[in-house]
């Protein structure tokens, strides 16, 4: 009986993932406004009613798509930083966070509040909560870096947070204002972001012991964000 229940739960999870995959693909292709539950059901090869067994509304389904992508992004950033000796610096965190956003159209759309892709979801309560979570996580990280004199402390923390947001958002938006011949590859842009952050804020590289402390802080912050998102997905 237990085995049968586990097998059924596994089938439900696999079906839910297939539906999320279909919704993610279609919203990137057509946008939120034009993607219907019927479209998703056909793409996922399930009955329309089956989707509503997992999510009560169309909006709930798409929010689940966005939260899943954000959890994937967090794991990807964490792995990249762990494999880079400079990953536990401010420039490393910003560089890999932006790379993950650039490579994932849905994460990029959430960050830039892209109404063409996300419609009203771009300005939903979910989007606002996510921005607030990211801001708080960045503030926590900056506090640790400032306490260790790894970054400048002659700038007010709120101002520093604002400057970081302006720099990263500017790099993500600039291509739409430039001719194609003036644009550069994503990886090169990420290196330029890192160099801008280094020149603007950083004072020195962390020692090996400090890197471990920073890693612990980052892991706790990322875990807290993931737990909050998981609770939202399950609620």
Per-domain residue ranges of the chain = 1-54, 67-234
Q: What is residue 224's predicted lDDT score, i.e. its pLDDT? A: 78
The CB density around residue 163, as the number of other CB atoms within 10 Å, is 14
CATH of 67-234 among 1.10.357, 2.60.120, 1.10.10, 1.10.3210: 1.10.357
141, 51, 126: which is closest to 94 by C-alpha?
Answer: 141
- State pLDDT tens for residues 57-109: 999 999 999 988 988 888 888 888 888 888 889 999 999 999 998 999 998 89
**According to the CATH classification, is domain 1-54 in 3.30.70.20?**
no
Q: What is residue 31's predicted lDDT score, i.e. its pLDDT? A: 95
- State pLDDT tens for residues 156-208: 999 999 999 999 999 999 999 999 999 999 999 999 999 999 999 999 999 98
What is the pLDDT averaged over residues 209-228?
80
The CB density around residue 105, as the number of other CB atoms within 10 Å, is 15
Start-to-end CA span in the chain (Å): 27
Q: What is residue 8's predicted lDDT score, i.e. its pLDDT? A: 67
Residue 151 β-bridge partners: 202
Gap between the Cα atoms of 2 and 192, Å rounded: 54
Q: Is the pLDDT of residue 222 over 80?
A: no
The CB density around residue 220, as the number of other CB atoms within 10 Å, is 12
Q: What is residue 124's predicted lDDT score, i.e. its pLDDT? A: 81
DSSP-derived letter for residue 207 is P
What is the pLDDT averaged over residues 136-149?
91
Residue 202 β-bridge partners: 151
Instruction: Locate 128 and state its tokens.
Output: 């606002």
């Amino acid at each position: 009986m237990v085995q049968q229940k586990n097998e059924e739960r596994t089938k439900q999870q696999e079906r839910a993932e297939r539906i999320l995959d279909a919704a993610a693909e279609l919203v990137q292709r057509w946008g939120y406004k034009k993607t219907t539950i019927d479209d998703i059901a056909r793409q996922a090869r399930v009955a329309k009613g089956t989707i509503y067994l997992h999510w009560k509304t169309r909006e709930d389904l798409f929010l689940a798509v966005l939260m899943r992508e954000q959890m994937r992004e967090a794991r990807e950033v964490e792995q990249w930083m762990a494999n880079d000796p400079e990953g536990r610096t401010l420039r490393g965190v910003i560089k890999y966070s932006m790379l993950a956003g650039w490579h994932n159209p849905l994460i990029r759309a959430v960050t830039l509040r892209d109404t063409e892709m996300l419609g009203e979801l771009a300005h939903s309560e979910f989007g606002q909560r996510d921005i607030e979570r990211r801001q708080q996580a960045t503030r926590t990280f900056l506090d640790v870096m400032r306490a260790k004199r790894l970054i400048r402390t002659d700038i007010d923390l709120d101002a520093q947070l604002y400057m970081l947001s302006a720099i990263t958002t500017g790099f993500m938006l600039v291509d739409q204002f430039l001719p194609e011949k003036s644009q550069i590859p994503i990886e090169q842009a990420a290196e330029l972001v890192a160099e801008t952050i280094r020149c603007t804020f950083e004072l020195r590289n962390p020692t090996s012991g400090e890197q471990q402390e920073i890693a612990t802080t980052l892991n706790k912050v990322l875990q807290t964000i993931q737990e909050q998102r998981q609770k939202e997905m399950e609620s």
